[in-house]
Chains A and B, each alone.
Chain A
Amino acid sequence: MSAHEPHGNVEVVADPIADPGLSPHLPRPTDVDPAKEKRAERQVATLFGLSAVASILFAVAYFTFAIGENPDLILGFGASHVALGLSLGVALLGIGIGAILLARKLMDDHEIVEYRHPAASSEEDRKEAIAALTQGIAESTIGRRPLVRNSMLAGLGLLGVPAVVALADLGPLPGDTLAHTVWGKKKLMRLVQDVSGTPIKPEDIEIGQLINGEPEIFFTNPESGEAASLDLQAEKAKAAIIVVRMQPDEIKAAQGREDWGVDGILCFSKICTHVGCPISLWEQQTHHLLCPCHQSTFDLADNGRVIFGPAARALPQLPITVDSEGYLAAQSDFTEPVGPSYWERVEK
């Protein structure tokens, strides 16, 4: 193949200016002035020396400065960290800059020319390679034994089956786990505050209040209580809620949701319907809830409707009521799956 047949030299010469050829080599000051050469030598040696000193300093800093609960400080920074970093940095840069200076000022700097060869092999090599390949295939006899060839291909191909099947235990099948949360585990499960686990009375909630809540079950004894059987993080990722209180006349409850709140107190899923970030940026005056990840904005006074951003579905609302002791409790599980969309999530 004549891949390596670029515009022949003659054409280049005339098009439109001839190649003047490599410029003559000029010496550097360090090549001709011994004083400058000595100076460069000292510079390089100083840098290498500096590096050596910094390496020792690293060891000194390592054993000198305390870390841990009451670390030594330099200018408000962790002393050990900064001292180790600076000494290691100087040690490395000393060698690096020294080597570059050495190359630039003292090493021989005559440019040399190397000729290129085309990437392709010679025609002869190629012919021989193809001949060898053909001969090899012929000697294998597979080409003329279709039965052997096809059965081998089938065997090899079906090895993909074990490869795939063996991975099936990577995880359990989803089933309908995503459609339910722990709120459905019990009738009238109480809403409790996250962190403290205290139940909530409606009269403690003021207009404009936000409570980051969880179902009561998470705060039962993790060894023996109902929480013991739960995968807490996975359940939290679905069951986390926010409780807010608005002026009752500001709420535009959709049909069927009129009794889902208690005196202007509403409860929504905390998990964004876009890709699942927990949302709690509640603007008490506008009743808007903003997701800090991708800025989907939901109007909690209007059934969690999306008013801005990439989320497509309204935030699921948890119907709540007051239990016999006067605490907020869920009427039932969420009436739709919470969190991000997934294929099996069929609209009712």
Chain B
Amino acid sequence: MRFFNSLAGRLSQVRRSRLAAPALLMASLLMTGGIVAVITPASATKYSADADAIAKGRALFLVGCSSCHGKNAEGIQTQGGGQYGPSLVGVGAAAVHFQMETGRMPMANPGVQAPRKTVIYNQDEIDSIAAFIASVGPGPAEPTEAEWSVAGATNEQIVRGGELFRTNCTACHNFAGSGGALPGGKLAPALTGVAEKHIYEAMLTGPQQMPVFSDGVMTPQDKRDVIAYLKSTESAPGYGGTSMGALGPVAEGVFVWIVGLGALVGFAVWIAAHTARTKKGSNA
């Protein structure tokens, strides 16, 4: 199984090798340059300032994303009616920034989980694709730093963020943000070490199986409070020693058997072991 996965991964890497992407990009730009302006008339007025970015983004999208999400980001259904790649109409720029800046998209191979990995597009390319996706349907825009920054959060805000976190997030992401399991091989990822902006975007857009926490219900201030709480626990000292992954009692149970009982049985063996004996001068 793993072999096939890695094989598929390697094949798809070949398909999207670093050389191929720019080459295809150039070719498609040349070929479709003129057409782009024609097929985006609806949003032309609204996004005219970004027309170049949209065109570039569309070109990149056709190369890197359309095989799963469809040529017009309308999504592709499998024969069984399931989603091969979901529609991106209306997901907004925020979703693109989250998915691509964390390396989740493009996926190395189709699967139930899109894991974090190395980012392969540069920021300019991601911005362009985001502009393109924003142009196909209205959706949340990329949050500004003022929206996600938690610098200067007060302690009251952190405490409230903790309440919101325990109510809305711990069920999947665990009490310490260490992540948790979902059905069918999926998982809720760990939240430690994730940039503030990306946590914000994830709440805003609901990536993969994660539900949406829209601004109308969880206000930007609520979101900042949650992020502030996460960051404050992340930087909190290990009051009682190493956290052993903060996975809860299962890890503790493994440690008590291996470390605790292991050490004590080791001592017991030493205590009862035969001491060295000598044959010389055995007149004692």
Contact = CB atoms under 8 A, between A and B. Distances in A.
B209 A283 contact: yes
Given A100-B270, A210-B213, A27 B278 contact: yes
Contacts of A28: 275-278
A210 B163 contact: no
A281 B172 contact: yes
Interface stretch (A75-83, A142-150, A158-166, A340-348): A75-83
B80 to A, nearest CB: 14
Interface residues on B, range: 35 or more
Given A81-B241, A193-B217, A288-B183, A105 B209 contact: no
A286 interface: yes
Contact of B216 (A32, A201, A297): A201
A207 B267 CA distance: 60
A26 interface: yes
Interface stretch (B40-48, B119-127, B141-149, B232-240): B232-240
Contacts of A104: 271, 275
Given A32-B280, A290-B183, A284 B237 contact: no
A71 B242 CA distance: 16
Contacts of B271: 100, 104
Nearest to B210: A284
7 A-B pairs with least C-beta separation: A204-B216, A210-B211, A283-B209, A26-B277, A32-B281, A27-B284, A209-B212
Contacts of A244: 211
Interface string B65-87: 00000000000000000010010
Nearest to B235: A76
Interface of B: 83, 86, 160, 163-164, 167-168, 171-172, 180, 182-183, 186, 188, 206, 208-214, 216-217, 222, 237-242, 267, 270-271, 275-282, 284
Main secondary structure on A side of the interface with B:
mixed
Contacts of A32: 278, 280-282, 284
Given A280-B168, A280-B171, A208 B276 contact: no
A255 to B, nearest CB: 24
17 contacts: A26-B282, A32-B282, A78-B237, A81-B241, A85-B241, A104-B271, A104-B275, A196-B222, A205-B214, A208-B211, A280-B171, A281-B171, A281-B172, A281-B188, A284-B206, A290-B183, A292-B180
Contacts of B172: 280-281, 292
Interface residues on A, range: 35 or more
A40 to B, nearest CB: 10
A204 B164 CA distance: 18
Nearest to B172: A281
Main secondary structure on B side of the interface with A:
loop
A206 interface: yes
Contacts of B208: 285
Interface in A64-87: 71, 73, 76-78, 81-82, 85
B214 A209 contact: yes
Contacts of B209: 283-286
A279 B182 CA distance: 12
Chain A CB within 10 Å, residue with most, of B164, B208, B278? B278
A206 B212 contact: yes
Contacts of A195: 160, 163-164, 167
Contact of A279 (B86, B167, B171): B171
A109 B282 CA distance: 13
Contacts of B188: 281
A92 interface: no
A284 B277 contact: no
B282 A27 contact: yes
A105 B279 CA distance: 16
Nearest to A31: B284
A29 interface: yes
A308 B183 contact: yes
A194 interface: yes
Given A78-B240, A279-B171, A29 B212 contact: no
B167 A194 contact: yes
A206 B163 contact: no
B206 A208 contact: yes
A207 B284 contact: no
Nearest to B281: A32
B179 to A, nearest CB: 12
Contacts of A27: 277-278, 281-282, 284
A290 B186 CA distance: 12
A55 B163 CA distance: 42
Given A81-B241, A285-B83, 11 more contacts: A26-B278, A28-B275, A29-B276, A29-B278, A31-B284, A77-B240, A77-B241, A203-B216, A209-B213, A210-B211, A283-B183
B206 A78 contact: no
Nearest to A79: B237
A219 to B, nearest CB: 13
Contacts of B86: 285
Chain A CB within 10 Å, residue with most, of B160, B238, B270? B238
Contacts of A279: 171
Interface string A171-202: 00000000000000000000001111000110
Contacts of A105: 275
B216 A77 contact: no
Nearest to B282: A27
